[in-house]
Every structure is written in C-alpha cells, then in structure tokens.
Amino acid sequence: MSDPARVLLQRLFEAAVAAADPMVCLGPHLPLPPAGRTLVLGAGKAAASMARAVEQNWPAAMEGLVVTRYGHGVPTSHIEVVQAAHPVPDATGEAAAGRILAMAGKLGSDDLLLVLISGGGSSLLSLPSPGLSLADKQAVNQALLRSGAPIDQMNVVRKHLSAIKGGWLAAAAAPAQVVSLLISDVPGDDPAIIASGPTVADPSTFAEARDILARYRIEPPRAVARHLAAAEQETPKPGDRLFERCRTILIATPGGSIAAAAEMATAAGYQVELLGDDLEGEARELGAEHGRLALLRQSSGGRLALLSGGETTVTVRGNGRGGRNVEYLAGLALALGGRPGISALAGDTDGIDGTEDNAGAFVLPDTLRRAATVGIDPGTLLANNDAHDLFSALDDLLICGPTLTNVNDFRAILIDPV
C-alpha cells in the first residue's frame, strides 16, 4: 500500500503543475485581433503547449514559429514548433532564433506580434551577438551552470551576448504592436529575467555582465571578453520609445501554483505555512535549513504543510548525477535524521530536474534507514553531486515526464505529530 503522505505530496505537485497549464491559463489573456497580420513567436519549455493553446482560442488567421526543448513539442496546425537543446544551446536553437528575429523584422504598424515566453527560453533562443560564435555562448553557458550563479545573474550575462534577448526582439518588431504572454519561472517574476527578456527593457549593463563573470571566476573565451569590454551597443533600456507599443502579461506564476497546492493541503487537514515562492541559495543548504525548521515546527504539534518555490543553485564540485531538487532533498533528509512523521517532495514543475528524466524525488521518514540497508551513504553521494542515484536506488524519484509548462521548483514538507 502506498504511503499516504507520499500520495498527498504527489497530488500537491500535480495541483501546482495544473494551475500553470497553458490550456487553462492562456486563453483569457489573449488580445483582440489586429487590423493586419498576427505573427506568433516564442521560446521556452512551455512554448509548444502555449502555441497550441493560442491556436485553440484565436479567432482569426495566424502564423508563427516557436522553439522548445527536445521532448516538449506538441502537434500544432498553424504555428511551427522547433525542438532544440537545453540547458546548453545548440545549432538548431540558434537557427530557429535567427528565423524568429527575421520574421519579427517584417512586421508593420497594423500587425500584431504575439510572443509566448516561458522558462528555458534563454538557452533555446540563442542567437549570438555579431562577432561571437555558438561555441562561445556554449562555453559561457556551461561555466555559468556549474558556477552556482543565480538565474538573474546568469541572464544578465546571456543578454549581453545575444542579438535577440534583452529587448532586441521587440526592437526588431517595431512599429508593430507586441503582446508578450509569460509563464514565470524566476524568483520575483521579473519579465526582464524570464527567458532573458527578449521583448522588455533591460536595466542591466555590460559592466554588470563583466562583474558577474569575475565574481564566479569564469574565464570567458577571448571573443566574449573582447565583446563585453567593447560594450559597443547597450541593450534597449527602460524609457526607450520602442517599447511604447509593447505589453507584457504574466499568465502563470510560481505563487499561483503554490496557492493551488495550499488549497489542496488545507482540504486534506493541514495548516499551511508558506515559506515563499522565490527562494534561492545553494540547494543542499536550503534543504538543511528547511529540515531544521520542520523539526522545530513538529515540536509544536498539529498537522502542518510547509510549501515553497523558487530556484536554488548547485555549485558542481563532483561528477555524479544530480539536479537541484534532489540535492535539496538530500540536504533535507540528512538534517531530519530519520525523524518520524515528516515527509517531503521537491520537483521542477517542467518535469525535468536538471538533465535527468525525473522531476525530483520524495523524502520519507525511513529514507536514511533504507539507504543504510542497501549500503548507501547519502552524505558521500551528496558530496559528489550524486543525489540522483541516492533516490534512484530507493525507488523514490518523482518521474512524470515533460509537463509542458514551467513555474520553477515546487517543494512541500508534510509534518504530522510524532
């Protein structure tokens, strides 16, 4: 028989994902059709499902192109879907981004550009600035992913190496009307950070991008260093007139998904404590912090659900199979020390934790005991960034496949009295 806490945890995760389903949340935000053409462009892990939702709700003619991660495509009738690599960009994504920029540049003042943006768009919409190569961007991207830099800082660098992000897509589309529909996967829901803001003003600078690389001791390729030092053409800034006909709408957020899960937890008899939808920091350290908090809350008695979201980081020092959600859970399990009555789940709402096939995993009261039974030392695996294999050996991975949406990580800790 399935553990009741594990069953409820999975239901909470599914409720969080369902709240961000484009088929549910996109239609009400569509603008009126224009006098001229409607062009639909987009990028991100949810781009294909968003395109399908547009097709099923749009009352007029349309055409377009979106790029999504491999395995995240869905059938569409009028909007072409290209699948490319994530989190490190590839030539397919580069070619699609070039086509997207060229298509936007052919619009007139009577036309509408409908832009569909979701998490993952920074890697998928990869068009290097003049003088840079795809290999240059791949090298910087890989270094950033391993550095432990938070997503907002990573995207400052990405915008200043791009010909399409940081507002350049909106610049290409002017003077057309531009309406961007966003599914947020970043702490704080800042449109300038989501997919590196291809249609919104960019307040960051080349100097900030250089400082970030220096802070994380990243030595970029020579062409990148020269490009950032020259700083020849800054990204479009707030107040620029090219954004006068641009409108940005958030159609799904981490906070909305956590609220849906909270409603379900309350119905199941748990008091809910929201820890925030924008938590950042080293994954294993946040897990340990939440473990200590859960032990403290359990001493007060009663049934409690601790819910949180956000995007942690992993500083890669080992060579194991990881993912930020399993790292968080390994840190949590070690802090809990096998305490009865406390179970947890952490998972990426896009269905993929890092580069593996799982969304995340579960921690149960007997996780450490079962690990010892099969001869596994969780601390050793965590030190090697190998938390995936810990939960795989225990058959505690959360595997759901691509969800076709993305509102970042969802975490739930269920606390019952001992």
Query: Distance between CA atoms of 369 and 367, rounded to whole angstroms?
Result: 6
Residues 6+ apart with CB under 8 A from 322: 314, 316, 354, 385, 386, 387, 388
* φ, ψ (nearest 5 deg) of residue 303: -100, 125
**Rama region for 88: left / alpha / beta (φ>0; ψ in -120 to 50; rest):** beta
pLDDT of 240: 96
The pLDDT score that the predictor gives to residue 1 is 45
What whole-number distance in Å separates Cα of residue 287 and Cα of residue 281? 10
The total number of residues written for the chain in this structure = 418
Rounded Cα distance, 212 and 219, in Å = 11
Interatomic CA distance for residues 398 and 158, integer angstroms: 31
The amino acid present at 386, given as its one-letter code, is D
What are the angstrom distances between the C-alpha of 394 and each of 113, 361, 386, 388?
48, 10, 14, 10
Q: What is the pLDDT of residues 63-96, one digit of tens each?
A: 999 999 999 999 999 999 999 999 999 999 999 9
Edge-first strand listing for the sheet containing 79-84: 79-84, 63-69, 38-43, 112-117, 177-183, 246-252
Element (H, E) at 304: strand 304-310
**Do the beta carbons of residue 119 and residue 183 sit within 8 Å?**
yes
Largest CA distance in the chain: 68
CB atoms within 10 A of CB 108: 11
Please give the domain boundaries of the chain with CATH numbers for all domains.
Answer: 4-15+255-415 (3.40.1480.10), 23-252 (3.40.50.10180)
Q: Which portions of the chain are predicted below pLDDT 50? A: 1
Beta carbons of 60 and 45 less than 8 angstroms apart = no
The dihedral of CA 211, 282, 93, 100: what is its sign?
Answer: negative
pLDDT at 67: 98
Between the alpha carbon of residue 38 and those of residues 54, 74, 76, 166, 251, the distances in Å are: 11, 21, 16, 23, 20
Helices 222-230 and 206-215, interaxial angle, to 10°?
A: 140
Average pLDDT, the chain: 96
Partners of 348 in the beta sheet? 409
Q: In this structure, what token pair is assigned to residue 292?
A: 């200590």
pLDDT in tens, 293-321: 999 999 988 999 999 999 999 998 998 88
Q: Give the integer Cα–Cα distance in Å for 375 and 369.
A: 10
- Confidence (pTM): 0.93
